[in-house]
Amino acid sequence: MSNTVLIVEDESIVAQDLQLILEDLGYNVPAIADSGELAIEKAAEIQPNLILMDIRLIGEMDGIAAAQIISEQFDIPVVYMTAHSDEATLARAKLTVPFGYVIKPFEEREIRTTIEIALYKHEMEKKLKENAHWLATILKSIGDGVIATDRMGRITFLNPVAEMLTGWSFDEAVGKDSTKIFKIIHEISRQTVNNPIMEVLKTNKIATLPEQTLLVAKDGREIPIEDSVAPITHHKGTALLKDNKGNIAGTVLVFRDVTQQRLAAKKLYRQAFYDILTNLPNRAWFKERLTDAVERVKRNPDYLFAVMFLDLDRFKIINDSMGHSAGDRLLVEVASRLSQSVRSIDTVTRMGGDEFAILLENLQNPGEAYKIARRIQQQLSEPIAIDEQEVFTNASIGIVLSSMGSERVEELIRDADIAMYRAKAKGKGRYEVFDLAMREQVVAASLLENDLRRAIDRNELSVYYQPIVCLASQKTLGFEALIRWHHPQQGFIPPDNFIPIAEETGLIIAIDEWVLQNACHQLMAWQKQHPNLLPLTVSVNLSSKQFAQPNIVEKIERVLIETDLDAQSLILEITESALIENPQSAAETLAQLKALGVGLSLDDFGTGYSSLSYLHRFPVNTIKIDRSFINRIDTEQDGLEIVRTIVMLGKTLEMNVVAEGLETTEQLALLQQLQCRCGQGYFFSKPLPASQIVVR
């Protein structure tokens, strides 16, 4: 017959989840109570074998008060459920002599183990109460250590738990002085604690140990314990058992390992320190451990630790394309692989989202941290099976060493984060070690961001134009509009310096719209000035953030109407990374733009993840060969072959091909031989303001 369990929990969702868990484990759960008053009523009604009692309940009576009444009236074992409690509450709970604690959030194995132990312990206590009092004293708890002595303090008995905790076997210990077998010290002072056995033999009274007592085992292990020592009495417990000279016959020492209770107490204080999804510690707990590590360095300057900050590469793509459930399973698997990649003394933490942090402690040298980083990247590079599909990810890792001298937790986390972003900027799937130059660059970038915000308002930005030329006739077919920034103090700032900041902060959306508006106005002016020339086009770059705007098609249509520019004169340049972040949505947006009549160009072709596999899905008119390939066509055979392949691909798909970064006569000749239709670069003209452009 299954045991009956009464659940007392005022959060209905938690209670129902717990009921399902218990029923799956084979327990009978006939009722759920949400208040102390109802718990007492249900306890009297159904007489359960055990009660799972939440400490904090609705109503005037909390779980501790209800447990006290139930314990007195019905002798039903109570196991407390809690997520957090202060010291005063824990002290009250302890007075009710609970049969265990279950810490929220629940783990099935922990619940089952706690309940089984509680039921077994309660049953044993019931049987022990039926026996003689002296036997109940010796075997009070199956999980406690028991040592008995004679009147001289010599060992006469050890139970198996006492053997395990002290490290002494029964045969080794019998007849030896108890002070040799039961060595105890104070955890803080490290001073020897007076042996309670000898105290009882002198006073004939029960004795207890002070808090923070450590048992020093035979092998040197230190185990936190609680205990009591009593004189051995008659079996009815009415008189002391004395020899024929009137002396007490001996003592019985009952003690228990409270390591788990201490851990449970820490969980009560740190109930908010664990990530529910991955079961890893979270940011708050990581900061606790990091604070401890910093303090160790203060005591020992030679102590070396490292902080790693990790961000998963391509997680958003996987999460968006396969769903959040798949993304969650990916995070759980990543957490597992990270834990397997580090040492037992290290701490792996989920900081939030797809970001993780690791504290590497007691390093012999910095190379240990780098070795672990490489091991992590090797582990994460292996495919992960989700929904019968193999997905691939890796991590960009930033590392900061304690030898950098920072003593503030937030600074260490920030510096590791800075190094991680540097790793991501250098190509992802790599690690970077923080140095002071990185911090200076971040400060400079922050100042540049502030200036960039003001630059938009102060009209410091301008649009430059670079011709796109027919390579056969060398006639200008159109222009690419390029943003330029003239800083009042620093002069011209390269786009590579401020565009990433604009993208990261979202300023790029306003910049893109401003460039689009100005470029369309300027092209319309040129067309009016030169009506007899071939129809000119203007190419405008759209950032991934701008392209992802839900109203992007309406924005572009509005600009075309305002400038009276023919849609066919506008070409929108979109990077491959912007398309593959959400391929389905991107394909729909491109279809709408094509229906509007604008041209579509795939920028930096060949540098993305899956150019060929994605190209056929998007209705683009033009592909632009990245300058990194053009720079090599006259010096490296593989560079020439890559360009040849892209040109042939463009012809096969009936797309226009534009070579970017054309700078030399040799490059021009090779591109002409390959029959590449268009090109742009310094060979024809550097980007110029509209006032310096000669349209011909």
Per-residue buried b or exposed e for 365-383, using 16+ beta carbons within 10 Å of the residue's own CB: eeeebeebbeebbebbeee
Residues contacting residue 622 through CB under 8 Å, at least 6 positions apart: 571, 599, 600, 601, 602, 655, 656, 657, 658
Q: Whose CA is closest to 630, among 577, 599, 666?
A: 666
Contact predicate 396/420, CB 8 Å:
yes
- Topology of the domain comprising 134-263: Beta-Lactamase (3.30.450)
What are the DSSP calls for 171-223, one per residue? HHHTTSBHHHHSEEEETTT-PBPPPHHHHHHHH-S-EEPPSSEEEE-TTS-EE
pLDDT band at 48 (very low <50, low <70, confident <90, very high): very high
- Please say if the pLDDT value at position 247 is more than 70: no
pLDDT band at 140 (very low <50, low <70, confident <90, very high): very low
pLDDT band at 240 (very low <50, low <70, confident <90, very high): very low
Residues contacting residue 212 through CB under 8 Å, at least 6 positions apart: 186, 187, 188, 224
- Please say if the pLDDT value at position 610 is more than 50: no
| Cα angle value 345/350/354 (rounded, 5°) | 135
Q: What is the pLDDT of residues 11-26, one digit of tens each?
A: 888 889 889 989 888 9
- Please say if the pLDDT value at position 453 is more than 60: yes
Q: Do domains 134-263 and 458-692 have the same CATH topology?
A: no
- Topology of the domain comprising 458-692: TIM Barrel (3.20.20)
Read off the pLDDT of each residue in 437-466 and give the average, rounded to a whole number. Answer: 83
pLDDT of residue 8: 92
Instruction: Kindly report the length of the chain.
Output: 696
Q: Which of 157-171, 561-575, 603-617 has the lowest mean pLDDT?
A: 603-617
**Where in the chain are the domains?**
5-130, 134-263, 276-434, 458-692
pLDDT of residue 287: 92
The distance from CA 510 to its chain's CA centroid, rounded to whole angstroms, is 32
User: What distance in Å separates the CA atoms of residue 573 and residue 620, rounded to the nearest whole number?
Assistant: 10
Strands (E) in 270-388, as ranges, are 306-313, 347-352, 355-360, 384-386
pLDDT of residue 58: 83
pLDDT band at 342 (very low <50, low <70, confident <90, very high): very high
pLDDT of residue 563: 92
pLDDT of residue 362: 94
User: What distance in Å separates the CA atoms of residue 226 and residue 211, rounded to the nearest whole number?
Assistant: 7
Contact predicate 103/110, CB 8 Å:
yes
Quick one: tokens of 388?
């019968």
Residues contacting residue 409 through CB under 8 Å, at least 6 positions apart: 287, 290, 291, 294
pLDDT band at 468 (very low <50, low <70, confident <90, very high): very high
Q: How many CB atoms are located within 10 Å of the residue 228 CB?
A: 17
- Please say if the pLDDT value at position 243 is more than 80: no
3-state SS, 23-34, equals: HHCCCECCCEEC
Per-residue buried b or exposed e for 633-662, using 16+ beta carbons within 10 Å of the residue's own CB: bbeeeebbebbbebbebbeeeebbbbbbbb
pLDDT band at 239 (very low <50, low <70, confident <90, very high): very low
pLDDT band at 570 (very low <50, low <70, confident <90, very high): very high
Instruction: Specify the DSSP element, H or E, that contains 397.
Output: strand 394-401
Q: How many CB atoms are located within 10 Å of the residue 605 CB?
A: 25
Architecture of domain 5-130: 3-Layer(aba) Sandwich (3.40)
pLDDT of residue 229: 58
Quick one: tokens of 534?
């071939």
DSSP-derived 3-state class of residue 617: coil
3-state SS, 247-291, equals: CECEEEEEEEECHHHHHHHHHHHCCCCECCCCCCECHHHHHHHHH
Percent of the chain residues topping a pLDDT of 90 = 40
Q: CA-based Rg of the chain, rounded to a whole angstrom?
A: 37
DSSP-derived 3-state class of residue 128: helix
- Please say if the pLDDT value at position 561 is more than 90: yes
pLDDT of residue 237: 37
Asked if the bond preceding 98 is cis, omega within 30° of 0, the reply is: no
pLDDT of residue 77: 92
- Please say if the pLDDT value at position 464 is more than 80: yes
pLDDT of residue 273: 80
Q: What is the pLDDT of residues 67-93, one digit of tens each?
A: 999 988 888 999 998 876 677 777 888
Q: Read off the amino acid at residue 403.
A: S
pLDDT of residue 463: 94
Q: What is the pLDDT of residues 623-636, one digit of tens each?
A: 999 888 898 888 88
User: Is beta strand 656-660 parallel, antiparallel or unpaired with respect to 491-493?
Assistant: unpaired
pLDDT band at 444 (very low <50, low <70, confident <90, very high): confident
User: Is beta strand 145-150 parallel, antiparallel or unpaired with respect to 155-158?
Assistant: antiparallel
Q: Does domain 276-434 have CATH number 3.30.70.270?
A: yes
Q: What is the pLDDT of residues 652-669, one digit of tens each?
A: 888 899 999 999 999 999
pLDDT band at 587 (very low <50, low <70, confident <90, very high): confident
Q: How many CB atoms are located within 10 Å of the residue 82 CB?
A: 21
pLDDT of residue 614: 62
User: What distance in Å separates the CA atoms of residue 127 and residue 143, rounded to the nearest whole number?
Assistant: 15
Quick one: tokens of 251?
């003592």
Q: Which of 221-235, 245-259, 463-477 has the lowest mean pLDDT?
A: 221-235
Q: What is the pLDDT of residues 498-543, one digit of tens each?
A: 888 888 888 889 899 999 999 999 999 998 888 887 789 999 999 8
- Please say if the pLDDT value at position 467 is more than 90: yes
Q: What is the pLDDT of residues 83-137, one digit of tens each?
A: 766 777 778 888 888 888 888 887 888 888 889 988 988 888 777 566 544 554 5
Q: Which residues pair with 479 in a beta bridge?
A: 467, 538
Contact predicate 320/582, CB 8 Å:
yes
